[in-house]
Structure 1
Amino acid sequence: MIDTRTAPYAATLLRVALGILFLAHAGLKVFVFTPAGTAQFFQSLGLPGPLAYLVIVVEIVGAVALIAGVYSRLAALALIPILLGAIATVHGPAGFFFTNPNGGWEFLALWIVGLLGVALLGEGAYALRLTPSTLRSTATH
Structure 2
Amino acid sequence: MIDLRTAPYAILALRVTVGLLFLAHGALKLFVFTPAGTAQFFASLGLPPALAYLTIAVELAGGIALVLGFFARAAALALVPILLGAIATVHGSAGFFFTNPNGGWEFLALWIAALFTIALAGDGALALRPTLANPVRE
Output the TM-score relative to the length of structure 1.
0.91
Partner Cα separation in structure 1 for residue 130 and residue 2 of structure 2 = 26
Q: Determine the C-alpha separation between the residues in 1 that align with 2:121 and 2:61.
A: 20
1:56-71 to structure 2, matched below 5 A, reads: 56-71=56-71
Per-residue CA distance 1:1-52 (angstroms, 9 max, x = gap):
0011110000000000000000010011011111000000000000000100
1:93 aligned residue: 93
Corresponding residue for residue 16 of structure 1: 16
1:75 counterpart residue number: 75
Cα distance in 2 between the residues matched to 1:15 and 1:102: 27
Tell me how far apart the structure 1 counterparts of residues 128 and 111 of structure 2 sit (CA, whole Å): 23
Task: Look up the equivalent residue of 1:112 and give its one-letter code.
Answer: I
* Structure 1 unaligned spans of 5+: 132-141
Deviation >2 Å, runs of 4+:
none
- Structure 2 counterparts to residues 45-64 of structure 1, below 5 A: 45-64=45-64
Deviations 1:52-88 (A, max 9, x none): 0000001110000000001000000000000000000
Aligned residue number for residue 35 of structure 1: 35
Q: Which amino acid aligns with 2:105?
A: W
> Looking at CA atoms only, which structure, 1 or 2, has the larger radius of gyration?
1
Query: Partner residue of 1:139?
Result: none
Q: Which amino acid aligns with 1:51?
A: L
Q: Within 2, Cα distance between the matches of 1:72 and 1:83?
A: 17
Structure 1 residue 130, shift from structure 2 partner: 5.3
Query: Within 5 A, what are the aligned runs for 1:93-112?
Result: 93-112=93-112
Which runs of no fewer than 5 residues in structure 2 stay unpaired? 132-138
Structure 1 residue aligned with 2:127: 127
TM-score (norm. length: structure 2) = 0.93
Offset at residue 98 of structure 1 (A): 0.3
Shift of 1:101: 1.1
The SS at the match of 1:62 is helix
Q: What secondary structure, in the 3-state scheme, does the structure 1 residue paired with 2:94 have? A: coil
